[in-house]
């Protein structure tokens, strides 16, 4: 099929310079959600009609499978679809979607496509207790004969509860012909796409309807308030899917997934956690409260304690992280590694059974197995121009408050005395200490403030 996505609206009520369809829902633009759904249907042609915001939409979302058509000025939905006509294949029907309606499911659209086939006009409709603001589906003897917009409806038509979602599929040759006949003689002075329904009836083209499973699939975004409501609806649906998979969420209303989250068995997630990008949690992982995890793989039986930040990192099985730990991009931890409170690791590998439990920075380093890194240790990896490597071999013990001035190597089994500033290689199996001599100065008195005379 062809797919047209209408995304030219100003979004005045958003009170933002950003085009409405680029505002984020679950971490990605509204329009990206619609594009993902459209691509799930494997369309032969895919076209986005853009307008307000200039080239911001095509600049951000350009892709080889995607055509763009500019609508300038914006003269209604019918006029918007006209701009996409050069990109359509007449041999297949055309599905029309909206860039600010992000939660429609591919299964719902497939249902609409199947009921319409290649020769019918299909409309996605829904029953609403309060249909105010929506175009009403007017039927005669059970058959759809037209759609009337709220501003043009009479009292009887306003009482109709079946409404138009705007999503429809149309035989493409007829679409071209019907669009050419549209008029803007209506309350808004616009070319309504919905007017093609009456054209189809006049041409004896069957008009059929399909229905979504939930109202949320049809909701659009016109304000920040509506965007926030859809965010919660979407997050609740994602949380429900996790619960059905067996994940324990201590409060399903307090989790945010801004990407994809794959969980194994017996995973537990506490409140206030944010997952961004692609995150994998293996069997038995426990995530403490208020963690932010982005593009990470967490191994089996790992415990991540509260208030940790993990980005572009891998944590091996049975590890313990936090609380208040930060794993930055390039961090790879093997099994049973302990990273404690206020410890930061960046672009480093740490082998199995090693520990850095307190107030430590490990950057651009290669750490062996069974290494103990004492509190307050720093790998000094930046000379102002270059990032330099530190190598700590197996079974090393590093005392507290040590500075390792890269590039430097600590040999296997070495011990570094607390307070050492290491600038040269520490030999394997030996104690290395570098400290200033401790002295006591007799007769020294601490300065005291003198009282100012009044």
Residues with active-site annotation: 358
Peptide bond connecting 73 to the previous residue in cis, omega within 30 degrees of 0: yes
Spatial separation of the C-alpha atoms in residues 219 and 175, rounded to whole Å: 25
Query: CA separation (Å) from 215 to 115, 240, 243?
Result: 20, 17, 21
CA triple 257-259-262, angle to 5 deg: 80
CB count within 10 Å of CB 300 equals 18
Per DSSP, 426 falls in state B
Retrieve residue 313's tokens: 């990192």
Retrieve residue 431's tokens: 């104690």
What are φ and ψ of residue 300, in 5° steps?
A: -60, 140
Per-residue burial over 344-369, b if 16 or more Cβ lie within 10 Å, else e, is bbbbbbbbbbbbbbebbbbbbbebbb
Task: Transcribe 143-189 into DSSP letters.
Answer: EEEEEE-GGG--HHHHT--EEEEEEEEE-HHHHHHHHTT----STT-
List 320's β-bridge partners, or say none. 303, 338
List 47's β-bridge partners, or say none. 4, 67
CB count within 10 Å of CB 263 equals 22
Q: How deeply is 336 buried, as exposed, middle or buried, from its count of CB atoms within 10 A (0-12, 13-18, 19+)?
A: buried
What number of CA atoms fall less than 13 Å from residue 269's CA on the CB side? 31
What number of CA atoms fall less than 13 Å from residue 108's CA on the CB side? 24
Spatial separation of the C-alpha atoms in residues 263 and 248, rounded to whole Å: 10
């Amino acid at each position: 099929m062809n797919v047209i996505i209408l995304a030219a609206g100003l979004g005045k009520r958003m009170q933002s310079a950003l085009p409405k369809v680029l505002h984020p829902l679950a971490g990605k633009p509204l329009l990206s959600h619609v594009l993902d759904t459209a691509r799930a249907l494997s369309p032969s042609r895919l076209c986005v009609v853009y307008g307000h915001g200039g080239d911001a939409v095509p600049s951000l979302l350009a892709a080889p499978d995607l055509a763009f058509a500019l609508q300038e000025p914006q003269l209604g939905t019918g006029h918007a679809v006209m701009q996409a006509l050069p990109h359509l294949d007449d041999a297949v029907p055309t599905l029309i979607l909206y860039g600010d309606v992000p939660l429609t499911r591919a299964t719902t659209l497939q249902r609409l496509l199947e009921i319409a086939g290649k020769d019918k006009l299909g409309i996605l409709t829904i029953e609403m207790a309060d249909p105010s603001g929506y175009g009403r589906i007017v039927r005669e003897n059970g058959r759809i004969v037209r759609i009337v917009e709220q501003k043009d409806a009479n009292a009887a038509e306003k009482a109709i509860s079946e409404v138009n979602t705007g999503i429809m599929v149309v035989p493409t040759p007829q679409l071209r012909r019907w669009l050419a006949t549209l008029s803007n003689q209506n309350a808004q002075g616009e070319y309504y796409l919905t007017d093609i329904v009456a054209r189809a009836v006049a041409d004896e083209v069957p008009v059929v309807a399909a229905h979504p499973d939930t109202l949320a699939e049809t909701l659009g975004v016109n304000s920040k308030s509506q965007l926030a409501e859809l965010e919660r609806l979407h997050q609740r649906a994602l949380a429900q899917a996790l619960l059905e998979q067996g994940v324990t969420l201590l409060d399903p209303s307090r989790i945010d997934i801004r990407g994809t989250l794959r969980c194994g068995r017996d995973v537990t997630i506490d409140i206030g956690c944010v997952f961004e990008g692609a995150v994998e949690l293996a069997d038995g992982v426990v995530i403490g409260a208020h963690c932010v995890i982005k593009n990470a793989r967490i191994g089996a039986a790992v415990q991540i304690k509260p208030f940790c930040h993990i980005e572009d990192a891998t944590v091996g099985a049975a590890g313990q992280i936090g609380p208040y730990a930060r794993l930055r991009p390039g961090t790879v931890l093997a099994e049973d590694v302990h990273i404690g409170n206020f410890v930061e690791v960046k672009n480093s590998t740490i082998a199995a059974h090693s520990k850095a439990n307190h107030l430590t920075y490990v950057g651009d380093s290669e750490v062996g197995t069974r290494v103990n890194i004492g509190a307050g240790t720093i790998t000094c990896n930046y000379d102002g121009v270059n990032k330099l490597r530190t190598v700590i071999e197996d079974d090393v013990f590093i005392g507290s408050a040590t500075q390792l001035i890269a590039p430097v190597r600590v040999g296997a089994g070495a011990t570094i005395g607390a307070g050492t500033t290491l600038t040269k290689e520490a030999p394997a199996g030996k104690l290395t200490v570098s400290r200033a001599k401790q002295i006591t100065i007799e007769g020294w008195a601490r300065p005291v403030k003198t009282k100012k005379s009044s």
